[in-house]
């Protein structure tokens, strides 16, 4: 039996975050103005993506240890969902950048590195398509997935700190962090992240169940 409470929790949290995200009061900042509210929509996408990719790595490791094809399906489906969240994150980031920096793609380090991190996972999906033999595909793609994950962590968390970025929270720009210490924003931001992560996880379980049905009933 599937327990449903976390799905309801996720839905409620996302609803709360959306409503409060629009209506709750936010600190007044010079350039950002109301677009600071994007913190509740754009940033949780990245959090969900990273969590989904982490789930994928976890299942890849499990696959290598057990050789159970179910783990391979879980790994690939969580990457699929993670990529969707990543693309949403990049697109919303570009829209926001268009009205804040004046250009949709201004070659900011964070934008570039996020794009490269997504490329890593596109490469993973290409690799999967390149191999026909099922077990071989599962094994090799699991290995590449584990190999790629530390690089993604380096890309998204370490490298942007080495160089200047226009992105809020970097290099002395009016960042979210210094302002969302202001507990007003935190009260919406944390539930938003948790809610979107739960929704992402939900979609991933759906995808996985469809995939598993596909595999075990039609064959």
Partner 1 sequence: MKKFFSTLLLLAISLQIFAQNASPSIEQSVYASGKIYVVVACAAIILLGLILFLFSIDRRLKKLEKYSDPKN
Partner 2 sequence: MTLLNQVKFLVKKELLLEWRSKYALNGVLLYVVSTIFVCFLSRVSANPVTWNALFWIIMLFASINAVSKSFLQESKGRQLYIYTIASPHALIISKTIYNILLMMLLTVIALGFYIMVFGIVPADLGLYLVATILGSLSFSSIFTMISAISSKAGNGGMLMAILSFPVIIPVLIVLIKLTKNAIDGLDRSVSLDEIGMLLVINVLVFAVSLLLFPYLWRD
Residue 22 interacts with partner 1 (CB under 8 A)?
yes
Instruction: Name the nearest CA neighbour of 140 among 190, 76, 214, 184.
Output: 76
Alpha helices in 67-182 (DSSP H): 69-100, 109-130, 134-153, 159-162, 176-180
State the burial class of residue 81 (Cβ atoms within 10 Å of its Cβ: 0-12, 13-18, 19+): buried
Q: In this chain, which of 51, 88, 148, 198 binds partner 1, going by CB under 8 A?
A: 88
Q: In this chain, which of 8, 15, 87, 119 binds partner 2, going by CB under 8 A?
A: 119
User: Count residues contacting partner 1 (CB under 8 A)?
Assistant: 30
Of 60-68, 81-89, 118-126, 137-145: span binding partner 1 (CB under 8 A): 81-89
C-alpha of 40 from chain center? 14
CB of 158 to partner 1, least distance (A): 27
Question: Exposed e or buried b for every residue in 108-117, given b needs 16+ CB within 10 A?
Answer: bbbbbbbeeb
Whole-angstrom distance, CA of residue 76 vs CA of residue 140 = 12
Residue 144 interacts with partner 2 (CB under 8 A)?
yes
Residue 87 interacts with partner 2 (CB under 8 A)?
no
Q: What's the token pair of residue 138? A: 């599962």
Residue 210 interacts with partner 1 (CB under 8 A)?
yes
Break the chain down into helix, strand, coil percent, rounded to 5.
80, 0, 20
CB of 54 to partner 2, least distance (A): 15
| Token pair 């094809």 in the structure block, residue | 69
Residue 75 interacts with partner 2 (CB under 8 A)?
no
- Per-residue DSSP letter, 24: S
Q: In this chain, which of 13, 37, 142, 188 binds partner 1, going by CB under 8 A?
A: 37
Residue 100 interacts with partner 1 (CB under 8 A)?
yes
Residue 213 interacts with partner 1 (CB under 8 A)?
yes
**Site residues for partner 2 per CB under 8 A:** 64, 113, 116-117, 119-120, 123, 126-127, 130-131, 136, 139-140, 142-144, 146-148, 150-151, 154-155, 158-159, 162-163
Site residues, partner 1 (CB under 8 A): 18, 21-22, 32-35, 37-38, 41-42, 45, 81, 84, 87-88, 91-92, 95-96, 99-100, 203, 206-207, 210, 213-214, 217-218
């Amino acid at each position: 039996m599937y327990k449903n409470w976390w799905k309801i929790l996720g839905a409620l949290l996302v609803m709360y975050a959306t409503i409060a995200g629009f209506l709750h009061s936010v600190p007044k900042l010079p350039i950002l103005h109301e677009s600071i509210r994007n913190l509740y929509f754009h940033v949780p996408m990245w959090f969900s993506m990273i969590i989904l990719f982490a789930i994928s790595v976890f299942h890849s490791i499990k696959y290598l240890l057990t050789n159970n094809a179910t783990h391979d399906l879980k790994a690939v489906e969580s990457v699929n969902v993670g990529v969707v969240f990543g693309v949403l994150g990049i697109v919303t980031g570009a829209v926001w950048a268009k009205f804040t920096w004046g250009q949709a793609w201004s070659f900011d380090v964070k934008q570039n590195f996020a794009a490269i991190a997504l490329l890593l996972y596109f490469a993973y999906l290409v690799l999967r398509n390149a191999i026909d033999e099922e077990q071989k595909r599962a094994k090799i793609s699991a290995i590449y997935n584990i190999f790629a994950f530390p690089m993604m962590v380096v890309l998204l968390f370490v490298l942007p700190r080495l160089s200047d970025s226009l992105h809020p929270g970097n290099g002395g720009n009016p960042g979210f962090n210094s302002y969302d210490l202001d507990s007003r924003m935190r009260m919406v931001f944390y539930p938003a992240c948790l809610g979107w992560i739960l929704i992402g996880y939900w979609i991933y379980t759906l995808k996985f169940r469809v995939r598993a049905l596909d595999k075990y009933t039609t064959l």
